[in-house]
Amino acid sequence: MDSAFDDLLREELEALETRAQRRRLRGFGVMDGGLCDGNGRPLVDLSSNDYLGLSRHPLVTTRAAEWARRHGAGPPASRLVTGTRDITLAVEEKLAAFKGREAALLFSSGFQANATVIPALARLGTIVGAGNTANATAIFSDELNHASIIHGARAARCPVHVFRHNDLDHLDALLAGHAGRKLVATESVFSMDGDRADLGRLAQVAARHGALLYVDEAHATGILGPQGRGLAAAVPGIDVVMGTLGKAFGAFGAYVAGSRALIDWLTNRCSGFIFTTALPPPVLGAVDAALELVPGMDAERARVAANAQRLRAALAAQGISTLASTTQIVPAVIGAEADTLAASAALEAEGFVAVAIRPPTVAAGSSRLRLAINSTLTAPELDRLLAVLAASLPRR
């Protein structure tokens, strides 16, 4: 029987439908390693973050299966109980070396890391300085930061200052107005725009104001920076680097990397690390294999970069904005929600999946197809994609 609560839920869903903002789950099939629709028709996936195609790499899938057989399907405990195995520590050590940091800590997901590490860091100093409100942290967050960073900043229950996207003069001015502890949070590659933060300058601005710098490398890890080590790898002065393992690594989970002291402290103070079950052995196996493969994949990274550039040029020739994208993430900005849904449907009719990205994920009026180039996209597929985009997107 429906309750008043259900009526209200349905009313809200109808309001979203009217605004072309309602989302629905859809189950894709998988055939010959690629996506297919309900009728078994193959689809080229332009919405996946598996930028290097590693989720299907034989070394990755074999090691995942092997570690499941050897160590079990799941660790039935959290990390500080019996969920830490020798393989967990070995993968963390490899991750730290990959990121060029003293230590690394695995998390169940990127969302969980951002949502809980940021509030933990905002409480830094409350053990030794209990009650000292002069030490209260303020958080400075880029306006395009991912929902999980926003969640973390809100959960920290401290003042949050949002700076204009990639506007470091604005950040500088905001930092100058705060006397206590400061934490600056940014993504190195912005997930919906595909542009980059100027990490070198950001590190200088943060250092000038004594602010802790927190960088989310979800969309850079594996695909950008020297040997795919991320954009933070080449920049000194970044205190905390997090990244995800469910994107270019083709696996699952996330990591935080930094100094030994940072990792030891998070092990003691971060709720999203302490009060949850450890990552399972098959995932650790997949991450372990990806860590071996990623540094040697420069050819794949170069192909992705060249294909993304070709896609941007083709969209620009049609008068379609790709914003400030310089990475494998190429937004084709359509504008209205309904038009973006129509563009997505037109692409799918031709065998390409490019899910429409709409508010609240992006700002009103900037709905887009977020086209993610990965290394498994073939030259004929890209040629066909450009032809389909030319035919199905309105010229501007």
Ligand X SMILES: Cc1ncc(COP(=O)(O)O)c(C=O)c1O
Give contact residues for ligand X (rule: CB under 6 A): 109-111, 114, 146, 148, 187, 191, 216, 218-219, 244, 246, 254
Query: Catalytic pick from 187, 217, 288, 300?
Result: 187
| Shortest Å distance, C-beta 241 to ligand X | 12
Residues 253, 109: contact at Cβ < 8 Å?
yes
Closest to 51 measured CA to CA, from 231, 321, 290: 290
Residue 216 falls in the annotated catalytic set: yes
Q: What is the 3-state secondary structure (H, E, C) of 243-304?
A: EECCCCCCCCCEEEEECHHHHHHHHHHCHHHHCCECCCHHHHHHHHHHHHHHHHCHHHHHHH
Rounded-to-integer distance, Cα 278 and Cα 267, Å = 13
Cβ contact 240:149 at 8 Å: no
**Amino acid identity of 359?**
P
Residue 256 beta carbon to ligand X: minimum distance, rounded to whole angstroms = 12
Query: Which tokens sit at 295?
Result: 């540094």
Active-site residue, 182 included: no
Inter-residue contact 368 to 362 (CB < 8 Å): yes
Q: Is 86 a catalytic residue?
A: no
Strand partners, 335: 367
Task: Enumerate the β-bridge partners of residue 254.
Answer: 107, 244
Of 36 and 353, which has the nearer Cβ to ligand X?
353
What separation in angstroms does the CA of 209 have from each of 5, 11, 183, 293? 49, 48, 10, 39
Residue in 57, 99, 182, 247 annotated catalytic: 247
CA distance 385 to 381: 6
Which residue's CB is nearer to ligand X, number 239 or number 382?
Answer: 239
Residue number of the CB closest to ligand X reads 110
Q: Is 94 a catalytic residue?
A: no
**Closest separation in Å from C-beta 1 to ligand X:** 36
Q: What phi and psi values does residue 384 have, to the nearest 5 degrees?
A: -65, -40
> Which residue among the candidates 45, 50, 216, 300 is catalytic per the annotation?
216
Whichever of 141 and 148 has its CB closer to ligand X, that residue is: 148
Minimum CB distance to ligand X, residue 287 (Å): 12
Identify whether the C-beta of residue 187 lies closer than 8 Å to the C-beta of residue 146. yes
Q: CB of residue 251 vs ligand X: minimum separation in angstroms?
A: 10
Catalytic residue among 57, 71, 99, 146: 146
The residue type found at 313 is A
Specify the residue, 135 or 276, whose C-beta has the smaller distance to ligand X. Answer: 276
Whether 217 sits among the annotated catalytic residues: the reply is no
Query: Would you say 63 or 219 has its CB closer to ligand X?
Result: 219
* Annotation says 209 is catalytic: no
Q: Of all helices (H) and strands (E), which one includes residue 208?
A: helix 199-208
Catalytic residue, chosen from 108, 109, 219, 366, is 219
**67 or 111: CB nearest ligand X:** 111
Separation of alpha carbons 231 and 122, rounded Å: 24
| Known active-site residue 187 | yes
SS3 372: strand
Cβ closer to ligand X: 48 or 392?
A: 48
What is the set of active-site residues? 49, 146, 187, 191, 216, 219, 247
